[in-house]
Amino acid sequence: MTHPVASRAPTREGFVAHLGRRSLEAGRALADISTWLPLLMGQMRRLGVDSVPIALFIAVFTGIVLSLLSSYIFTGTVPLYFVGALVGKTIMMELGPVLTGMALAGRVGASIAAELGTMKVTEQVDALETLAYDRYAYLVVPRVLAATMMFPVVTAFAVAVGVASGWITAINLLDLSSTEFLKGLKQFYQFKDLWFGLVKSASFGGAVALMGCLRGLSAQGGAEGVGQATTRAVVLGCEAILVLDAFWALVLL
């Protein structure tokens, strides 16, 4: 016989109640500052600072390819100093935040989901609760806040390095001087280009960390369950980045 609770179909009231409970839990966890604040710096270092090398690696090659591609497209039709404009705008507004976000969705999302998933299946999360800690305040809030704050910082470094590598490529491999590259870069630059990318990357950070935490905390079984939670966290993190990317483009441009 099926248990009555198990057989009950989800209702709109049930969903609203669930959402309400979750919001209440999130609010309570955020208010528990004494629990999450001491953990915040460690997570900022782990999720942000430790992610800088991979983000810079991607940025270097993105800048090179973008510079070469734009010169290929512009040759004979558009003045070549537009290479600077295209490299700058594209890296600041789109490729910097999105590629960094995707790379960090793999690194940060997977690491969070695997860590929390292992803690869940080995009863460490239950142990935390028996020691009177709120699991969301201790595990979720510092990770989500750290990622939200650090993704823009990592993205800013990636943007700087990407533009610099595009510039170096342009003056060494293309028939372009520094003056011409910078002319293109400056002529079309708006402050909005920069903050638009950074706002996006903050939202990517929050989403990636939240997916990692929620999938990790819902892991069941043993190693297989943790593996599934990790894969799902990375996929959901990447999907969230793409959806948010479109959202911000619609809202802010």
Partner 1 sequence: MILLDNLTKTFGPRTILNGVSLEVPDGQNTVIIGASGAGKSVTLKLIVGLIEPDGGRVLVDDEVVHDLDREELAALRGRIGYVFQFAALFDSLTVAENIQLGLVKRGFDGGVIRERIEESLAVVDLSGTEDKLPAELSGGMRKRVGIARAIALKPRYILYDEPTTGLDPITATVMDRLIIRTRDLGVTGLVVTHDMRSAFSVGDRVAMLYQGAIRQVGTVDEIQASEDPVVRQFIEGRPGPELVEPVARRSVG
Residues that bind partner 1 (CB under 8 A): 1-3, 5-6, 28, 35, 118-119, 122-124, 126-134
* Rounded Cα distance, 181 and 59, in Å: 18
Q: Is 223 exposed, middle or buried (0-12, 13-18, 19+ CB in 10 A)?
A: exposed
**Min separation Cβ 13 and partner 1, Å:** 20
**Min separation Cβ 207 and partner 1, Å:** 25
Taking the CA atoms of 182, 185, 189 and 192 in sequence, report the sign of the dihedral they define: negative
**Min separation Cβ 225 and partner 1, Å:** 16
Toward partner 1, which CB reaches closer, 163 or 219?
219
> Which residues lie closer than 8 Å to 66 by C-beta, 6 or more apart?
86, 87, 90, 91, 95, 162, 166
**Min separation Cβ 133 and partner 1, Å:** 6
Toward partner 1, which CB reaches closer, 21 or 192?
21
Toward partner 1, which CB reaches closer, 59 or 119?
119
* Rounded Cα distance, 36 and 39, in Å: 5
Taking the CA atoms of 246, 229, 29 and 8 in sequence, report the sign of the dihedral they define: positive
Toward partner 1, which CB reaches closer, 7 or 11?
7
